[in-house]
Structures are given as structure tokens and as C-alpha cells.
Amino acid sequence: MRPSILLLALSGLVSACDTGAIPTESSAPVATAAMGGLEPDELSSELMQDLARARASTARFHRFSAADGADYDLLFLGICMENQPTGGMGYHYVNVGLLDSIVEIERPEALMYEPGPNGQRRLVGLEYVIPAAAWTSEDPPVLFGQELVLNDFDLWALHVWIWKNNPSGIFSDWNPTVNCANAAESVAARGSHH
């Protein structure tokens, strides 16, 4: 990846503290009723297979040490992201080596962890990211049959809640069941689209 793209992506992720968007802070499979607003009978076998591939390739990250060993580092200055009453995202651990023009089901750019009561962090979801500067097509990138959305940080992004059920849908940005109540540092994101 070109160094300028990496720097742009990192500055976009870290600059969240300086923008109008202020960042904050189970291994149960996803309920099919919350699959991106789709009814269970509308789920394609291809989507189900892709979600199973994502789960299989990221299950090891339930052990937090595995994420650290795979070059996932905490961004947003260690702050848990929350946007109540819409929901939370938790802490974002990003592998900056994956920030390029490609998204792959088995290699999410970010892992999202919810803080627990005893300082533990629980894997709740994945985020797939392409820096806007790296994407040259006029059409948005697509993964899991979903278009990635260009967010406030100049990143194409798609959240996938495969490790904690999201009543708002598996591909929603915020999860109302995720919160930062147990985070050491948390600030509410106000009106941001991450």
C-alpha cells in the first residue's frame, strides 16, 4: 500500500477526536431475524455462506491476545464509541496493513470489542474499510451483497455484527445492545456517521 494512503487512512481514523464526531467507546451467532433487515426466508445461501466464512476466520479473535498477535491495534486513542440511544460500537482494533482498495470476508480491517465489567473485552462485530483515496470506481464497494457507505472519516465502511445480535440489523452502523458503561474512557458520538 502506498504510504500516503496509509497516512490518510490513519489520520481519518484518529482525527475523529478533532471533528464534529466525537468518538467514545458473546460469541452467540447472529439471529437470522436481524440479518440486515432481511427476513430469514430472504437470506440467500451465498450470504449465509459468506457470514459463516467471516465467523470461521474471526472466531480466534475472541481471545483478545490473538487480535494483538495479528497486528490489530487500538485506534481512536483508546476510546469506546457510543451514540445513545442509537447504540454503540465499542473499541475499534484496526489492522492498518489491510487498509487498501480491497475488502476480503476473511480479513476484516477492524475488530469491534465491547468492554466488560472486569476489564475484559468481548468481540462483538467486524468492520470492513477502504480509504476513499484508495477507491477509484464511481460505484461504491460491495461486500456481503451490501454497499459500503462513505462515512464522516472519508472511509468506505461496512459494519457486520456477527458476534453479538443487533436488533437494528446485522449491517447497521450502531448496535443498541452495545454500550460503553464499563469503559475507562468513553464519550458519546453526537450525530456522527461512522
Does this model's pTM top 0.75?
yes
Tell me phi and psi for residue 40, to 5 degrees: -50, -40
Quick: pLDDT tens for 27-41.
Answer: 334 444 345 455 555
29: preceding bond cis by omega (within 30 degrees) = no
Domain assignments of the chain as residue spans, ordered by start: 3-188
Quick: pLDDT tens for 83-142.
Answer: 988 999 999 999 999 999 999 999 999 999 999 988 889 999 999 999 999 999 999 999
